[in-house]
């Protein structure tokens, strides 16, 4: 029913109805509600309402509206077009930028009820229809396939004239996924979706919205199946990986085959030390003596060159004079046993088997036939007497002692004989390293070639050496020494007389040539060329002293002091030269000490250069 008059009389009637029909089981209809009003193209609009309780009676609904600024009430022109419970406003009935006051009235026999009024301005309720003709296709480009989505605007929207401006939005998801990916397409009607996964099925939907309005509904989903493909980049990388794996395998196999040569190339073997005669096995066996003996070169030190030189240092012994006793016994044993017999054989002189004995004996030797057997078990001496260069001299019981003979080999070769009497001699003087404590005793210090093989490996030797040094050691450097009487016998010889052995195991000797007797002071002894054995270290190294000056030395000596001792220099091979007097070198002791270098195995490094 349509009511064209104002609502007031209508309401009155409604109230009357309600009041007049109380208990019939029917009631006035419940209040309807305007749900919403929408305009799809900003030209028409539609309003929908929701009916309330109908109260058991057939109820009719009517929509009334009023325009802004006017009191005229109009009823809905079209209840049909938009469907049930709706009102459609056509273009003629639609005014823009004007507020509509809309309300719905439900009425039945029992009464009426009016809905809440709704203010509507058409331009603000625009919600377009969904886009149309959504099409999805798979296209290819350089980077692979991609999705292209095309659509059309909703037909009702007039974007051509600019009346409505629409913006679009689409969303994509894989068919099995749950979350959508939304993209804003602006005002264009197509969109590219890149990097889809191969072999998957995708769903696409599109919607639109006016510049000021509501979003439309989503279109029905469009399904698209992505073909299977391999990205070019990935296939390239796979190929690269395969080839490189193959190459690596090839390389590894080659390396394995040529293992040794590769190892040789990358890690060249470190050349080991090559010492002639050096046998590692011997060293490993733990017998150093054997090894060191093995190192002895038969022809070393060269003795031939010294022969001439040493000739002058030959000493002829006389039975009456001090006789050097060369004991064949092994010094190393440290026992000065009575090997004097052997030594006697060698030297022809009496030998002192013990130190003490030696001392006693040798205290006064003038005229004694017995020679000072300082040598004790100077097996080396005996071996020297043989005059052989063969380091393995007979009677040597210990390999170590073998060194000695080599030391003396050259000079003694003619000097020493097995037999003594003529004197043993040169053997001592061929102990150049042994420094003479006594100034009178001259030792050749640094007879390099002969010292080379010199080695004291046992304390016994040490003692021996000490004693020996004191005794008639022939020193090569005879030139400087005051030519004492001994020189009359030989140029280098100067014989001393052992006087005492002090605490430090130093033989104190006096030159026999000195008529004064055991006078330690011998000023005329320059002793420059000779060095004294200062000490033998635990490493079996002979430390030689070097006298700064004879007198000084003598003085020190007299006082029974070791005094400042200048270690002797040991010269290394100076083939042409005789053993220089270390004493000549007025080097400070400390320097000498420093300069003294010890080679391994107890050898004194004779590489020091003397000025």
Partner 1 sequence: MYSVLQGCLGLLFCSIHGLLGSALDCPDRDAGGTRCSISVEKLLDRAIQHAELIYRVSEEARTLFEQMFIPFSFHAQQSHGGHLCTSNIFPIPTSKSEVQQISDKWLLHSVLILIQFWIDPLVELQASLDRYDNAPSDLLNKTKWMSTKLMNLEQGVLVLIRKMLEEGSLELHNNESVTPYLLPTDMVEHVLRDYAMLSCFKKDAHKMETFLKFLKCRQTNRPSCSIL
Q: Which chain residues interact with partner 1 by CB under 8 A?
A: 42-43, 66, 68-69, 91, 94-99, 101, 116-117, 119, 121, 123, 153, 158-163, 165-166, 187, 211-212
Q: Which is nearer to partner 1, 100 or 306 (CB)?
A: 100
Structural tokens at position 320? 């009456």
Task: Report the residue number, 49 or 408, with the smaller CB distance to partner 1.
Answer: 49
- Least Cβ distance, residue 163 to partner 1 (angstroms): 5
Closest CA to 50 of 42, 59, 41: 59
Residue 95 vs 195, nearer CB to partner 1: 95
Min dist. Cβ of residue 82 to partner 1 (A): 19
Report, in Å, the least distance between residue 123 CB and partner 1.
Answer: 6
**How many helices (H) and strands (E) would you count in the chain?**
16, 22
CB of 67 to partner 1, least distance (A): 9
Closer residue to partner 1 in complex, CB, 98/479: 98
- For partner 1, the closer of residues 161 and 260 by Cβ is 161
Question: Which C-beta is closer to partner 1: that of 123 or that of 562?
Answer: 123
Helix (H) / strand (E) element for 114: namely: strand 112-114
Nearer to partner 1, 168 or 553 (CB): 168
Residues 434, 469 contacting (CB under 8 angstroms):
yes
Residue with Cβ nearer partner 1 (18 or 123):
123
Beta bridge partners of residue 501, listed in sequence order: 507
Q: Report the DSSP beta bridge partners of residue 168.
A: 186, 208
Nearest in space to 206 (alpha carbons), one of 129, 126, 123, 140: 129
Distance of closest approach, residue 219 Cβ to partner 1, in angstroms = 18
Minimum Å gap between C-beta 50 and partner 1 is 18
SS3 249: helix
Q: Which is nearer to partner 1, 117 or 277 (CB)?
A: 117
* CB 608 within 8 Å of CB 599: no
Measured from the CB atom, the residue of 43 and 333 that comes closer to partner 1 is 43
Report d(CA 325, CA 308) in Å as an integer.
Answer: 24
Collapsed DSSP state (helix, strand, coil) of residue 204: strand
Cβ distance to partner 1 smaller for residue 119 or 360: 119
Can you tell me the distance from the alpha carbon of 515 to that of 526, in angstroms, rounded to the nearest whole number?
17
- Nearest residue (CB) to partner 1, 65 versus 292: 65
Please compute, for residue 82, the number of CA atoms within 13 A of its CA located in the half-sphere on the CB side: 21
Q: Please, are residues 542 and 418 in contact by the beta-carbon 8 Å criterion?
A: no
Helix, strand, coil share of the chain (percent; to 5): 25, 20, 50
Structure tokens at 213: 């309005």
Residue 155 CB, shortest distance to partner 1, in Å, is 12
412 vs 425: CA distance, rounded Å: 7
What is the closest distance, in whole angstroms, from the C-beta atom of residue 167 to partner 1 in the complex? Answer: 10
Burial of 232 (0-12, 13-18, 19+ CB in 10 A): exposed
Residue 113 CB, shortest distance to partner 1, in Å, is: 17
Q: Which is nearer to partner 1, 152 or 360 (CB)?
A: 152
Give 186's contacts (C-beta < 8 A, 6+ positions apart).
167, 168
Half-sphere exposure of 449 (CA within 13 A, CB side): 25
d(CA 453, CA 380): 12
List, as one string, the DSSP characters of 505-561. S-EEEEETT-TT-S-S--TT----SBEEEEEE-TTS-EEEEE-S-HHHHHHHHHTT-
Q: What is the DSSP letter of 608?
A: B
| Least distance CB 204 / partner 1 (angstroms) | 21
Closest approach, Cβ 153 to partner 1, in A, equals 6
**At closest approach, how far in Å is the CB of 73 from partner 1?**
12
Which residues lie below 8 Å from residue 32, measured CB to CB, with a gap of 6+?
Answer: 49, 50, 51, 52, 61, 104, 105, 106, 113, 115
Contacts of 50 (CB under 8 A, 6+ apart): 32, 33, 34, 35, 85
Q: Cβ 188 to partner 1, closest distance in Å?
A: 9
Half-sphere exposure of 224 (CA within 13 A, CB side): 24
Strand partners, 605: 597
Report CA Rg, the chain: 65
Min dist. Cβ of residue 11 to partner 1 (A): 17
Q: Which is nearer to partner 1, 157 or 224 (CB)?
A: 157
**Closer residue to partner 1 (CB): 24 or 70:** 70
Non-local CB neighbours of 274 within 8 Å, separated by 6+ positions: none
Least separation in angstroms between CB 95 and partner 1: 4
């Amino acid at each position: 029913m349509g009511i064209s008059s104002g609502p007031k009389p209508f309401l009155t009637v409604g109230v009357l109805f309600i009041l007049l029909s109380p208990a019939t089981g029917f009631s006035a209809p419940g209040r309807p509600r305007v749900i919403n009003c929408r305009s799809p193209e900003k030209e028409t609009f539609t309003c929908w309402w929701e009916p309330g309780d109908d109260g058991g009676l057939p109820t009719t609904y009517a929509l009334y509206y009023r325009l802004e600024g006017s009191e005229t009430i109009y009823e809905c022109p079209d209840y049909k077009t938009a469907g049930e419970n709706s009102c459609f406003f056509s273009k003629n009935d639609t005014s823009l930028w004007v507020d509509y006051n809309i309300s719905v009235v439900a009425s039945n026999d029992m009464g009426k009820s009016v809905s809440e009024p709704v203010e509507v301005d058409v331009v603000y309720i625009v919600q377009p229809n969904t886009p149309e003709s959504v099409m999805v296709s798979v296209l290819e480009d350089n980077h692979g396939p991609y999705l292209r989505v095309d659509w059309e605007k909703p037909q009702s929207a007039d974007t051509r004239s600019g009346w409505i401006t629409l913006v679009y939005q689409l969303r994509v998801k894989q068919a099995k996924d749950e979350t959508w990916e939304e993209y804003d397409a602006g005002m264009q009607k197509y969109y590219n979706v890149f990097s889809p996964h191969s072999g998957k099925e995708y769903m696409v939907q599109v919607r639109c919205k006016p510049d000021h309005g509501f979003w439309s509904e989503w279109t029905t989903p469009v399904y698209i199946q992505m073909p299977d493909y391999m990205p070019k980049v990935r296939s390239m990388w796979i190929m690269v990986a395969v080839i490189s794996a193959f190459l690596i395998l090839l390389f590894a196999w080659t390396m394995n085959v040529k293992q040794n040569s590769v190892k040789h190339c990358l890690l060249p073997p470190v050349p080991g030390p090559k010492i002639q005669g050096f046998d590692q096995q011997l060293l490993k066996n733990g017998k150093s003596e054997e090894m060191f003996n093995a190192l002895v070169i038969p022809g070393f030190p060269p003795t031939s060159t010294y022969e001439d030189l040493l000739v002058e240092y030959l000493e002829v012994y006389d039975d009456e004079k001090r006789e050097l006793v060369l004991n064949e016994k092994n010094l190393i044993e440290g026992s000065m046993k009575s090997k004097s017999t052997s030594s006697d054989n060698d030297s022809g002189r009496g030998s002192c088997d013990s130190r003490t004995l030696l001392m006693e004996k040798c205290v006064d030797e003038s005229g004694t036939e017995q020679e000072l057997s300082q040598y004790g078990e100077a097996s080396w001496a005996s071996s020297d007497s043989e005059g052989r260069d063969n380091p393995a001299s007979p009677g040597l019981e210990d390999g170590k002692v073998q060194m000695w003979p080599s030391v003396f080999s050259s000079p003694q070769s003619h000097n020493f004989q097995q037999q003594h009497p003529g004197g043993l001699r040169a053997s001592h003087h061929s102990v150049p390293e042994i420094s003479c404590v006594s100034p009178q005793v001259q030792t050749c210090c640094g007879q390099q070639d002969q010292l080379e093989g010199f080695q004291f490996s046992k304390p016994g030797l040490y003692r021996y050496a000490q004693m020996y040094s004191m005794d008639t050691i022939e020193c090569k450097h005879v030139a400087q020494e005051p030519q004492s009487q001994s020189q009359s016998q030989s140029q280098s010889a100067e014989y001393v007389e052992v006087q005492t052995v002090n605490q430090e195991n130093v033989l104190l000797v006096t030159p026999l040539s000195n008529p004064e007797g055991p006078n330690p002071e011998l000023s005329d002894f320059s002793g420059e060329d000779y060095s004294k054995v200062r000490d033998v270290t635990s490493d079996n190294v002979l430390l030689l002293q070097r006298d700064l000056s004879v007198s000084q030395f003598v003085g020190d000596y007299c006082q029974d002091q070791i005094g400042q001792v200048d270690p002797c220099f040991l010269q290394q091979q100076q083939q042409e030269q005789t053993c220089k007097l270390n004493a000549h070198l007025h080097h400070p002791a400390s320097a000498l000490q420093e300069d003294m270098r010890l080679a391994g195995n107890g050898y004194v490094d004779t590489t020091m250069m003397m000025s």
